[in-house]
Amino acid sequence: MIKVDISNVWGEVSLPDLLALEKEVFAAHNTLTEGTGEGNDFLGWLNLPVAEPTEEMRRISAAAERIRESSDVFVVVGIGGSYLGPRAAIELMQGPNHNIGKGKGNPQIFFAGNSLSTRHWNELMRLLEGKDFSIAIISKSGTTTEPAIATRALRWMLERKYGTDGAKKRIYAITDPCKGALRQMASEEGWETFVIPPNVGGRYSVLTAVGLLPMAVAGIDINAVMAGAAEAKETYNLRSFENPVWLYAAVRNLLYHRGKCIELFESFEPGFKMMGGWWQQLFGESEGKDNKGIFPVTAELTADLHSLGQMIQQGERNMFETMVRFAPPEKAAVVGSDWKNLDGLNYLEGKTLAFVDEQAYLGTLAAHADGGVPVITMDMGELNEEKLGEMFYFLELSCGISAYMLGVNPFNQPGVEYYKRNMFHLLGKPGYES
């Protein structure tokens, strides 16, 4: 079980404050699991975790093996939840530099269709030169601008390189089971398809083929991921403050109502950065509506202590932090010696890097708490595939409960459409003339 430590929020909130929320958290949890709240047609993610592989998972594993055998590069085309979840999983498990040295048998994985940057596109073209590659197109509709543009270009490249029939074997579509432009395109062209269930929204889709196919191509054990999520589904169904999901959802709402309107979600692991991005979308799109919501910001420590540290320590007291910790890996790194000791580090000789990291965490925690910034700590324990699945489910469940406590629909995102309407009008898209 993930451990949530709230000992560094006392003073800003009290135990009676927390206990007074018990009925509210209970009601929000029931609203979510019983499907009685707004957005209840998007609750399919609650039951995605399974302890044993499904037929869909076996197909995903088989497709991933074909991609690994035939491709130097695998390109995942998608935006929002269609790319943040899989990228977060891969970088957390394998590091932000995971592509270095990879090739056929263990392909590099790149992401496209998540920007409109010409420079980013030209970089991808350079990376694909002379490489065998396959693509997965992830979209419920197939008409979202950024991934649709990337799909056109990549499909044309594959057909030119391998011919129409050869390209078909290298294109995978992850989409709605029945409708949408991508479903029609895949059916007409004969691409292999995987399903995004209609009752699962994009930001809650990481435990579908959206996340599982890229993870499997990266060599991550998706059966273990799903088993970890399945265990979390049972573990976090507990209806009391012994449930760390309750603690996290309740405390962040208490802090919000005391003027803490910014949450910094942080880890001391560089590979966690994209997981922070996934969390940022999950909570930002779920809670930011009706002029409500905690503004989600992610940070990488200790690097960002040298950029954001001053603001956190002495800036406006309108924020709180959630620090995510993992057990150190089995392979230790040790600080060496230097007889000249010009850097003054010989006092650390023989100490592990994990020990230094732990003291940096404890020192930062004390400084920020003393400086008036409440800090929630999440102790994840050992980082492995089971923990990855547990973590995804834990945060999705926390988000659903927290949003219902806030009084908003966790599963819509009406504000996202406003910029699209303006963009379509400026681009001259039919139907958006006015």
Enzyme catalytic residues: 285, 306, 420
C-alpha distances out from residue 332 to 69, 94, 356, 381, Å: 33, 17, 12, 16
Residue type, 166: G
DSSP 195-254: E--TTS-GGG-TTSHHHHHHHHHTT--HHHHHHHHHHHHHHTT--STTSHHHHHHHHHHH
Interatomic CA distance for residues 4 and 98, integer angstroms:
30
C-alpha distances out from residue 223 to 20, 28, 171, 219, 389, Å: 40, 30, 23, 11, 10
Element (H, E) at 181: helix 181-189
Interatomic CA distance for residues 143 and 140, integer angstroms:
9
Residues 242-262: b if buried by 16+ CB within 10 A, e if exposed: ebbbbbbbbbbbbbbeeebeb
Residues with Cβ within 8 Å of 345's Cβ and at least 6 positions away in sequence, in order, are: 335, 338
